[in-house]
Amino acid sequence: DPKIIQKPKYLVAVTGSEKILICEQYLGHNAMYWYRQSAKKPLEFMFSYSYQKLMDNQTASSRFQPQSSKKNHLDLQITALKPDDSATYFCASSQEQGEREVFFGKGTRLTVV
Amino acid sequence: AQKVTQTQTSISVMEKTTVTMDCVYETQDSSYFLFWYKQTASGEIVFLIRQDSYKKENATVGHYSLNFQKPKSSIGLIITATQIEDSAVYFCAMRDNNAGAKLTFGGGTRLTVRP
């Protein structure tokens, strides 16, 4: 059974719209992250959360907003979508912030048309 | 700033042979952690093995082992007795103490194992 669930698996959005990518982890981890993988760049760190608090934000744009409603949830809201936002977004987690092993979900592939 | 470079974009080997994938890294920190991940055809990213910079012994997990050459800032992944299902994209990554929880990834090496 997958321990980090991302929904939806595929998402098509219109330029200018807003979408929320869902992530839930059932590993009992306290730290959660978002990474992005596009055709142009390797896996790229976006955010880290620890105990539901934002610890690090390496995303230049404020259009990307993580939301943590529960300890094991870290959703990603993206507003004013652009074609360049097309990528696969991976949620990840680790027992604690900076823990050596980080585990990844299966990703949400976002296509902005 | 951290940087991870994988110069081999793709490798093809015969089944049951040994393959080595290269990775070099840059960091200003004296303490850091190096990782290898595998991304399967379905897109799933799987943690394989880790090397802590302060450890001299090369890490080994199953048929994965590392060739850690600290003076060269190099961390090669060795897969012995390759199997068809080892076909995937392999990513090298690092984290140092100045980066918090951030993992910096290389561009990946696509491994194809032929029967």
pLDDT in tens, B14-73: 999 999 999 999 999 988 999 999 999 999 999 999 999 999 999 999 999 999 999 999
- pLDDT value of residue A1: 65
Residue corresponding to tokens 């200003």: B28
Q: Give yes or no for B25 touching A (CB within 8 A).
A: no
**In the 8-state DSSP scheme, what is residue B59?**
P
Nearest to B91 by CA among B29, B43, B38: B38
Among A42, A103, A106, beta carbon nearest to B43: A106
Residue B114: pLDDT above 70?
Answer: yes
Element (H, E) at A110: strand A108-112
pLDDT above 90 for A41: no
Predicted local confidence at residue A101, as pLDDT:
86
SS3 B97: helix
Q: What percent of chain B has pLDDT over 70?
A: 100
The SS3 call for residue B61 is strand
pLDDT tops 70 at residue A9 = yes
- Confidence at residue A53, expressed as pLDDT on a 0 to 100 scale: 92
Alpha carbons B78 and A34: distance in angstroms, whole number: 29
pLDDT score, position B100: 76
CA distance B1 to chain A (A): 13
